[in-house]
């Protein structure tokens, strides 16, 4: 069963498999290693393993599988499942389980695993214990159907195994596997489900593109950020982007200048807003995101359009217009200049946030944690347009941040700068083991409270990672 399950996942784009040690998951681990098409990653900490997979999925933009043993090992994936559900990365969780006769009877390491993650996964698939009485085509089509529907978030596949956990399966299941015929030599799924969901062009776009608009940009890819910046500039619209927008933040330090009465008076004249803030009440409010759901805690009246930024921009071309709120550009430039003057000789996280562009590796990428630092970069810095930035800003937890950064680095093999807070670093300290396998340079910065101690530790062990102290007195 394990070999067929993993092969079916491979047909749907799974290339990376993250594995934690465990006995009950042995059939899945052996099946993964036997399939030379997979890139295998191992870690002894299941919580960190889940976030390693999350980072791989973020950067590779493809589904990533995770294999863990039964019991609380599976429960340790919960934070990564929650984050994936909110930020859209596709994870396939293969949790080994005890068979039904060992549940609720006092058997060791046996917990109720079906539905373990409640409503946080996008999909659940509870497999029966392996038996040749259930046709192989059922398993292949069940996995195919689930993967075809996995547009974002996690798929939890619970896999009960009875002992013996390995040995003899080749002969016992040879006829069972052979029933799939030449599928084993093919490269396509057994069952191909086709989703015809298409992005629709707004029929009145020709009317709205002539109006006074404001774009508030959040999480998107580096390519989309560059496209959006050019699009907004052509329209003459104000673009306010956070660090994950990768738009180059053409009007930086928005957290500072948006508080000015002058800026608020100007923005009250906006007629169309694409993603905005709570107090804004324009004529139209359009929220564009590829994830499902409302995604608007302010509950504006308007349009919720499910599409990727690239898809939407392709269908809604800009019309060249004169910038309507040029005063905001001056306010943003003034705020950046004031920040530079104020922080020039000050030691601390604020100066680090402001000077961050100077520290970015060439042709590299940035990972930001969820401490105060990410908000300071928004308020005081200006990152280059199209520079890749990653973060776990779905649930904004401190779980597994170093592990996620390690996954991002492994997926891209780019020089990486990662910034996290001191508590975040302590919470995921086991992830330092993952950084020993970096394929290129990676610099991790966190507060001086813990960094100095672990810097000495890493030097003694000659790990291939630079652990630096963030600019903050403690």
Q: What is the pLDDT of residues 9-42, one digit of tens each?
A: 999 999 999 999 999 999 999 999 999 999 999 9
pLDDT of 278 reads 57
Which pLDDT tens digit goes with each residue over 407-425? Answer: 999 999 999 999 998 889 9
CA neighbor of 93 nearest in space, from 150, 158, 34, 24:
158
Express as a percent the part of the chain with pLDDT over 70. Answer: 92
- Kindly state the average pLDDT of the residues 102-130: 93
Residues 6+ apart with CB under 8 A from 81: 50, 91, 93, 117, 120, 121, 154, 156
Domain boundaries, the chain: 2-185, 205-325, 345-469
- Kindly state the average pLDDT of the residues 69-89: 96
The region of weakest confidence among 184-188, 237-241, 292-296, 338-342 is: 292-296
Q: Evaluate if residue 457 carries a pLDDT over 60.
A: no
Q: Evaluate if residue 226 carries a pLDDT over 80.
A: yes
Residue 459's pLDDT band (cuts 50, 70, 90):
low
- Kindly state the average pLDDT of the residues 252-279: 84
Q: Evaluate if residue 79 carries a pLDDT over 50.
A: yes
Q: Are 294 and 304 in contact (CB under 8 A)?
A: yes
Q: Which tokens sit at 317?
A: 């071309």
pLDDT of 111 reads 92
Residue 454's pLDDT band (cuts 50, 70, 90):
very low
CATH class of 205-325: alpha beta
User: What single string gives the DSSP state of each residue in 388-409?
Assistant: -EEE--SS---TTHHHHHHHHH
Q: Evaluate if residue 323 carries a pLDDT over 80.
A: yes
Q: Evaluate if residue 4 carries a pLDDT over 80.
A: yes
Q: Evaluate if residue 69 carries a pLDDT over 90.
A: yes
Which pLDDT tens digit goes with each residue over 351-399? Answer: 999 999 999 999 999 999 987 888 999 999 999 999 999 999 999 999 9
pLDDT of 167 reads 66
Say whether 345-469 and 205-325 share the same fold: yes
Average pLDDT over all residues of the chain = 89
pLDDT of 180 reads 93
pLDDT of 279 reads 65
CA neighbor of 151 nearest in space, from 292, 55, 288, 38:
292
Q: Which fold is adopted by the domain 345-469?
A: Rossmann fold (3.40.50)
Q: Evaluate if residue 333 carries a pLDDT over 60.
A: yes
Residue 275's pLDDT band (cuts 50, 70, 90):
low
Domain 2-185 is found in CATH 3.40.50.970 = yes
CA-to-CA dists, residue 468 to 107, 418, 421, 449, 450, angstroms:
46, 10, 12, 11, 10
Residues 6+ apart with CB under 8 A from 174: none
The region of weakest confidence among 36-50, 233-247, 280-294 is: 280-294
Cα–Cα distance measured from residue 52 to residue 404, given in angstroms and rounded to the nearest whole number: 5
pLDDT of 449 reads 46
pLDDT of 467 reads 45
Residue 173's pLDDT band (cuts 50, 70, 90):
confident
């Amino acid at each position: 069963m394990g070999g067929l399950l993993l092969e079916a996942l491979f047909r749907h784009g799974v290339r990376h498999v993250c594995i934690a040690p465990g006995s009950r998951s042995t059939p899945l681990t052996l099946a993964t290693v036997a399939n030379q098409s997979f890139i295998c990653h191992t870690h002894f900490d299941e919580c960190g393993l889940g976030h390693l997979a999350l980072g791989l999925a973020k950067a590779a933009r493809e589904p990533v599988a995770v294999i863990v043993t039964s019991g609380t090992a599976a429960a340790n994936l919960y934070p990564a499942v929650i984050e994936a559900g909110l930020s859209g990365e596709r994870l396939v969780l293969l949790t080994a389980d005890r068979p039904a006769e060992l549940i609720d009877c006092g058997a060791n390491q046996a917990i109720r695993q079906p539905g373990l993650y409640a409503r946080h996964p996008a999909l659940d698939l509870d497999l029966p214990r392996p038996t040749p009485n259930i046709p192989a085509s059922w398993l292949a089509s069940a996995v195919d159907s689930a993967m075809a529907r996995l547009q974002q978030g996690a798929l939890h596949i619970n896999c009960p195994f009875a002992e013996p956990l390995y040995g003899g399966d080749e002969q016992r299941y040879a006829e069972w596997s052979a029933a799939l015929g030449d599928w084993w030599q093919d490269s396509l799924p057994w069952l191909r489900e086709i989703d015809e969901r298409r992005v629709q062009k707004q029929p009145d776009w020709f009317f709205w593109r002539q109006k006074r608009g404001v774009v508030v940009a959040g999480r998107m890819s580096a390519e989309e950020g560059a496209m959006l910046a050019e699009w907004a500039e052509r329209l003459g619209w104000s673009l306010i982007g956070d660090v994950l927008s990768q738009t180059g933040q053409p009007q930086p330090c928005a957290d500072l200048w948006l508080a000015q009465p002058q800026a608020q008076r100007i923005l009250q004249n906006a007629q169309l807003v694409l993603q905005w803030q709570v107090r804004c009440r324009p004529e139209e409010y359009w929220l564009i995101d590829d994830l499902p759901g409302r995604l608007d805690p302010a509950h504006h009246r308007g349009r919720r359009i499910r599409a990727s930024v690239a898809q939407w921009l392709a269908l809604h071309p800009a019309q060249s217009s004169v910038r309507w709120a040029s005063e905001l550009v001056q306010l943003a430039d003034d705020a950046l200049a004031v920040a530079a003057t104020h922080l020039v000789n000050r030691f601390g996280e604020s100066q680090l946030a402001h000077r961050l562009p100077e520290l970015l590796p060439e042709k590299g990428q940035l990972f930001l944690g969820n401490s105060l630092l990410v908000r300071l970069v928004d308020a005081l810095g200006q990152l280059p347009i199209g520079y890749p930035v990653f973060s776990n800003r779905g649930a904004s937890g401190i779980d597994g941040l170093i592990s996620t950064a390690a996954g991002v680095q492994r997926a891209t093999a780019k020089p990486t700068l990662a910034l996290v807070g001191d508590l975040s670093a302590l919470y995921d300290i086991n992830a330092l083991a993952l950084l020993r396998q970096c394929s290129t340079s990676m610099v991790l910065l966190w507060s001086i409270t813990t960094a100095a101690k672990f810097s000495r530790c890493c030097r003694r062990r000659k790990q291939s990672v630079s652990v630096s102290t963030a600019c903050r007195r403690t």
